[in-house]
Amino acid sequence: MDIRTALFWNHIFGSPVWALLMMIGLSAIIVGIILRKHKKVRNVLLISGFLSVVLFVLSCVGSIYTYVEISRYRPEDEYETTKPIESKIIDHVYLGYPDEEINYCTVRYTNNTDEEINFGGRYKLEIEIDGRWFDVEPEDAPVTDPMWVETNVFILQPGETSEIEFNLTPYADLEPARYRFVISDDGHFCCYSEFELTESGDYLNEVRYVEGNG
């Protein structure tokens, strides 16, 4: 289940309508038990009440299941924004062949500190939905750590820049939205590079200081 589908159904299953239905169902069961002389009315109330309770239980199961699915896409950590590294997308290449697709972005990182910075080792892609960031799972993702893709470790000297290519091919067709690359080592050092994918397929970004230290 993708993140948007999980969010949609979690919103549906979490609606207060189900709790109201549960109260109505219990009331119908109680009234049905009391009305012993009116057999037809009693049966209708008991059946409708029982169905209401079953629907409420199913909504609870659905809510729990979709919550677990949403949790799969929530980033492990969110780091405070600091300003040592400047990142900017400088190129995007998409080539579609009959038997192969090539899709990648090039991001330029600049070390604006007076110290050497080592970063990299793995990266992932996140999407912003309703002001919150969620992981985008690549196709054929590893079972152990499905959101992360291995990459090289990069060393930036003070004032030095480095260009990194991020392979977007495993993410198939990305919808127009705001995304960010997250490049990290073991979670103690993390760089964010945000961009917006437009309806026309353009990759737009600002020069942003999007580096976080844990």
Q: Match 């049905």 to its residue by tokens.
A: 32
Largest Cα–Cα separation, the chain: 88
What's the rounded Cα separation, in Å, for the pair 169 and 140?
A: 11
Q: Give the pLDDT confidence score for residue 164 in this predicted structure.
A: 82
Do residues 120 and 130 lie in contact, with contact meaning Cβ atoms separated by under 8 Å? no
Tens of pLDDT along the chain (214 residues) come to: 777 788 888 888 888 888 888 888 888 888 878 877 777 877 888 888 888 888 888 888 988 888 888 877 776 555 544 446 677 766 666 655 555 566 778 888 888 878 787 777 778 888 888 888 888 887 765 555 667 777 777 788 888 888 888 888 777 777 888 888 888 765 556 777 888 888 876 777 654 434 444 4
Q: Give the pLDDT confidence score for residue 101 in this predicted structure.
A: 65
Listed in order, strand segments (DSSP E) in the chain are 81-96, 101-111, 117-129, 132-136, 149-156, 161-167, 177-184, 189-197, 203-204, 208-213
Q: Give the pLDDT confidence score for residue 81 in this predicted structure.
A: 45
Tokens describing residue 118: 């080592």
Q: Give the pLDDT confidence score for residue 79 in this predicted structure.
A: 52
Do residues 195 and 203 lie in contact, with contact meaning Cβ atoms separated by under 8 Å? yes
Tokens describing residue 101: 């697709």
* Total residue count of the chain as it appears in this document: 214
Alpha-carbon Rg of the chain, whole angstroms?
25
Rounded to 5°, the CA angle 25-31-32 comes to: 85
Tokens describing residue 139: 């196709």
Q: Supply the DSSP string of 67-82, one letter for each residue.
A: HHHHHHHS-S--PPEE
